[in-house]
Structure 1
């Protein structure tokens, strides 16, 4: 199913799309064809369809926007089973590490705007129990830009459960490099930042995200712990337990569906600053529109313009080659594939382990979202080459049109 359309939609067109009809009025198709180069989009469709046919991923949703024009396409099915339901634009996916930029980084920046978090304050000001092991020099800024020197993740053994246990483990880690001197992408950084948001705001992270980000932005299908809100059948499954179970907490053959794929966040109860959010491509697109509009969407301001700047432009300390904002990736090794070969340096975004991309280019006022469940059924699928095709073809589709 694909959809070309212009935003905002008329009520008649909304009804048409809600009915699942892909046949848009000729005028809408003409506007879209005028705005986007359709040849790269056809090539992009073929690339994703080939990946689905090769069973590198069961299904996905792709969405490209530029200045109110939208191309949206759903591919494949929820799983490789013959009777699996088809993916639609309404399918909810585990957004994995997109959580870091959809929730945690903006939440920290909101609290900084309010004077409740000092971005250059040491971590131990807020968590004195994290002292030791070289962590006294870590600042909030270091955590946001992944230059804290902390390891990439928490150990799985001995077995542990709960947010408090995760915090204790994070605070027990020692830095491997002086804070501010070395880039290492680290879930521990964002686990601590999520806990910082909870401590400073006085509310659970999932509540802060709903009240301060998802609700104001109208991201109605986005949040942690989705099974509390929607039917499992609306959510793309991720992984099955293998012969010996999965990470010790899934029985053989048991399916993850609506339960976070990330094993560390599962141990934490499904909510963390590093992962745990489930969303649709449409909702992620609303967030992207807000950033391109300087922190405001539909008359509702979520982030100040300076916070948007900190989130999306280079904030990495001098001397470090991997360039990051306070959340968004700009030019690290992880950025090169989703950026593709055409989007310029200065575009920004993030990826998620389950097969998710958000990439935004302010210079062309465009962005694309790709959500998939490439980890189904056994976490062995690799679609990184597809990421490069998506980035390059998306940029080609908008390249000639300008902002």
Structure 2
């Protein structure tokens, strides 16, 4: 059942009968906790209730249930008891669906909420699944969702050839401004993934929209992006993951704070103020992560406050 949201996500469009006819298809579904309808029903449950034949599920990084809190923790395969189907981990012993996983499927549905940043792994799960489906002759269907940080701004370096990894498999900017469906079309048209692709688009989404313009409820797509504020800060603050400085994991404000035990907040603030652009403010702060870098140590640092998202 659709709400009065400004935007209707791809799964709700499909459930309303405006997408491809899949009622006689044997389906796989790539999902996580943010794979929900407008009334917060998990897409797998909603599809089964409407008579779609789900034969298997696939889980990305952090697991199909989103239970893996820490970064780069792999998940096992298991059976979903409620639905009685196998859940294949795409962040365990494999990153790409195997031929055995796709055997007997007519189509794979992709329903992950991305955040519009190259180093977020969900779009690369999509790219590898598209490759696997192309090799197996299985259709690939993206149930599109809004880009939560908007589709106007594109910024940051483009991935250079030779530096490909699971946090960047194709040359796109750090902040790419695309929805998953748009990126899937680009992967087919420009990068040559020869898969039978269908995109069920969001209805009502406009490029200028941020998540809170859509009218849709926010469900965290991964454990350390709990709020829209953390999501808005993520494109720049995620770069601190590659340093000895804490990016705020283990606090209630991940990716909104950085710090380390040896940093003086006031000195750090004075150092960076001269190069600070418009639209953000910094506040000196202290925090003590409960896990990850500098666990149980008091860190000095700064908190980022976004005052103008555009």
- TM-score, L = length of structure 1: 0.23
- TM-score, L = length of structure 2: 0.28
Where is the strand percentage greater, Structure 1 or Structure 2? 2
Question: Relative contact order (C-alpha < 8 Å, sep 6+): which is higher?
Answer: 1
Where is the helix percentage greater, Structure 1 or Structure 2? 1
